[in-house]
Structure 1
Amino acid sequence: MTEPPFVSRGRLKKHQQYFQSVPKPTYLKGRYDKITSVAIPLALAASSMFLVGRGVYNMSLGIGKKE
């Protein structure tokens, strides 16, 4: 029993040729891979650095202490 292919062979071969010919790292070859591989980690790092800096500032001045 055989099942039908998920993608036609011609389309699969076209995608394979595209991904093998692009001179970029493997994890940046797709259309939206820059968003998931670069932008989201940078945004998370920037927001965490901001929150850590704000926490250190508040602790050094005693802001927000519970009495």
Structure 2
Amino acid sequence: MSQTEEVPFRPREKLVEKQKYFQSIHKHTYLKGPMDKITSVAIPLALAGTCLFLIGRGIYNMSHGIGKKE
């Protein structure tokens, strides 16, 4: 039985080049890609800000009796 070798997704040279690039950057692992600042920093900050705003608004409305259903 002979095994057929799978064709790699990328050429080995490109893979080695990318590995060297990412290993040479001295940032945190989750900030190494070009779009990582958006996904790892901006989106969580936006979600946290929205949550804090909605919690604050809810507490304000409860303390002032706004929006009660009869």
Relative to the length of structure 2, the TM-score reads 0.92
Q: Does 1:44 align with 2:10?
A: no
Count of aligned residue pairs for this structure pair: 67
Gaps of 5+ in 1: none
Larger radius of gyration: 2
Deviations 1:2-56 (A, max 9, x none): 1101110111011000000001011100011111111111000000000000000
CA RMSD after TM alignment:
0.6
| Structure 1 residue ranges (4+ consecutive) displaced by more than 3 angstroms after TM superposition | none
Over the matched positions of the two proteins, sequence identity in percent amounts to 66
Q: Could you say which residue in structure 2 is the equivalent of 1:58?
A: 61
Gaps of 5+ in 2: none
Letter in 1 for 2:36: D
Q: Does 1:13 align with 2:53?
A: no
